[in-house]
Structure 1
Amino acid sequence: MAAFGQRKAQRLARADASRKGALDERAAAVVQLLNGRARFCTTSSCSGRLVLAQGRGADINSCEIQKKNCTWLMVTHEMCIKDDVMTALEKATGDVVLKFEPFVLHVLCRELRDAQLLHSVAVDSGFRNSGITVGRGGKIIMAVRSTHCLEVPLSHKGKLMVSEEYIEFLIHVANRKMEENMRRIDRFYKGLESALQTAVSTDNSPAEETQKSRPVYMHRRKKKTIREQGVQPSPKDHKEQLEPEDDTESSLDVFAEIVI
């Protein structure tokens, strides 16, 4: 897997292209934990944020999210207060929305089983919109995502369209979502740390792998001996011969969990 190692080195050597230009503090522990393992490489992350985003007035009837020509009047990765939001709204000249965006993480994985491990931990931690994408070139990306977002229009062409009381209510809702987001990140980190330790322990136990593979070899050898001697197999022997073939269903289950 030298190609993966080279790809990871090139990726980590790139400059941070985010608006902030640096890793979010709350996401740092997870990112460092994964990048410290040879089988993973994070490609992008955000610990979650509250944003007052201003776009062009003409975009108010558009069904698409405008990423270009968008200005952030306020952004924080922590909980916010009403005064900060109202001060930021005073700068509004276009259409402004209040958005809460939860933790998101994209991880390049060396093998499919590595992505499945991350997917399992993510879902168990509350990030139920997570999924795995396998590209044509075999590139495997695991995305950690959640569904508890929030996006509410507040002003149109610089004019506030809602009451301050409603804004205060929205801030309360957004802050509760941020608190839940923080709890999920903590659960994800602890679950990931435990899962990676377990995976390492399993990889370092050749005796266990030998024990697992031995029955398959013995059953095949027994089957060959029975055929050579022309002996009719007993019901027990017949059952043992079929056991190695039963892996088909379990191997299909591997792909049933993948969201593409």
Structure 2
Amino acid sequence: MDLSAEFKRWKAQCLGKADLSRKGSVDEDMLEIVQLLNGQEQFFTTSSCAGRIILLDGSVNGSEVQKQNCCWLLVTHKACVKDDVIVALKKAKGDAVLKFEPLVLHVQCRQLEDAQILHSVAIDSGFRNSGITVGKRGKIMLAVRSTHGLEVPLSHQGKLMVTEEYINFLLKIANQKMEENKKRIERLYHCLQHALEKETVSTTSHPKEKVNTSYIHKKKRNPAKARGKRVTEENDKELENNDHDDPGISVTIFPEDY
């Protein structure tokens, strides 16, 4: 199979689809990064979120909100104020949870070497939960993620369980995390620009050899053993869910100090 031609087909197909996200468009803080990546032959973005503060109302299983059964009471990609949360909480009928979710970006890469370049950029920019997966059909995906999230339950069966003072305290923390997230996004963009410029010069001087992904599939079934990397069940499952038409992830690479 010609992976280069297949990659071009995947890219054209993905970028030609309508945006089915809740917002229907790329977040403003992510626009430059998405445009930069999609303008390169070796990359294209499959999904992204710049980071957000959300208030969810739904059933709770353990400590995790079941998103498919929940109601979105509040969503903002900017700093949030207490009054907005209080007003939104009045609509809660179940178990309301306040969350801050940092940037998430999924990029399909033409070759493993391309994904490794982006992975290094992501780690250096502060997104230390980033990882690479390789699917059986040769799809190479990079997930850019961070660990500085926040998730706190506020109500149970519609009854507020905390004080307004505590909500204000939580929002200060969430807003601080949002500000840090924005700084990391800016750092990611500048580091990405530098890395791509450097790679262009390097490729012109020394053309890269093609990565044999079929060899990777056969030789590295156990990524933790083969590369000495830590692979978590949660990370592996999440990345696999972002490759619906390519089941069976064969390689997952995560940083040593995750």
* Bin of the TM-score, shorter chain as denominator length: 0.7 to 0.9
Q: Distance in 1 between matches of 2:8 and 2:25?
A: 23
In 2 relative to 1, CA 74–168 (structure 1 residues): closer, same or farther, beyond 3 Å? same
Match of 1:205 in 2: 205
Q: 1:97 maps to what in 2?
A: 97
Letter of the structure 1 residue corresponding to residue 14 of structure 2: R
Match of 1:220 in 2: none
Q: In the TM superposition, what are the counterparts of 1:40-79 in structure 2 within 5 Å?
A: 40-55=43-58, 59-62=59-62, 64-79=64-79
In structure 1, what is the Cα distance between the partners aligned to 2:190 and 2:179? 17
How far apart in 2 are the matches of 1:255 and 1:5?
29
Q: Which has the higher helix share?
A: 1
Displacement over 6 Å in runs of 4+: none
The partner residue of 1:4 within 4, 7, 25 is: 7
Change beyond 3 A, Cα 1:63–1:161: closer
In the alignment, residue 73 of structure 2 is paired with which amino acid?
L
1:37 alignment partner in structure 2: 40
Tell me the residue number matched to 1:21: 24
Q: Does the C-alpha gap of structure 1 residues 64 and 171 become closer, same or farther in structure 2, counting only changes over 3 Å?
A: closer
Q: What amino acid does structure 2 have at the position aligned with 1:175?
A: N
1:244-255 residue pairs with structure 2 within 5 A?
Answer: none
Matched, 1:179 2:179: yes
Percent of matched pairs sharing the same residue: 60
Q: Distance in 2 between matches of 1:198 and 1:35?
A: 18
Name the structure 2 match of 1:157. Answer: 157
Q: 1:61 to 1:67 in 2, by over 3 A?
A: closer
The structural deviation recorded for 1:17 is 1.4
Secondary structure of the corresponding residue to residue 143 of structure 1: strand
Pair 1:256–1:192, CA change in 2 (3 A): farther
Secondary structure of 2:142 counterpart: strand
Distance in structure 2 (CA, Å) of the matches to 1:102 and 1:63: 18
Q: Provide the residue aligned with 2:169 in structure 1.
A: 169
**Residue ranges of structure 2 left out of the alignment (5+ in a row):** 208-225, 230-251
Cα distance in 1 for partners of 2:178, 2:228 equals 32
Q: Distance in 2 between matches of 1:256 and 1:112?
A: 17
Letter of the 1:73 counterpart = L
- Residue identity opposite 2:26 in structure 1: L
Secondary structure of the residue aligned to 2:152 is strand
In the alignment, structure 1 residue 195 sits paired with structure 2 residue 195: yes
Give the Cα–Cα distance (whole angstroms) in 2 for the partners of residues 74 and 4 of structure 1.
38
1:168-204: CA deviation from partner (whole Å, max 9, x where unpaired): 0000000000000000000000000000000001111
Conserved? CA contact 2:60–2:66, under 8 Å: no
- The alignment partner of 1:68 has SS state of helix
TM-score (norm: length of structure 2): 0.79
> Are 2:93 and 2:158, in contact at CA under 8 Å, matched by a contact in 1?
yes
- Structure 1 spans left out of the alignment, 5+ residues: 210-253
- The whole-number CA distance in structure 2 between the counterparts of 1:199 and 1:255 is 24
**Aligned mates of 1:110, 1:79 — CA distance in 2:** 36
**2 CA distance for matches of 1:183 and 1:18?**
24
Instruction: Give the deviation of 1:65 after TM superposition.
Output: 3.7
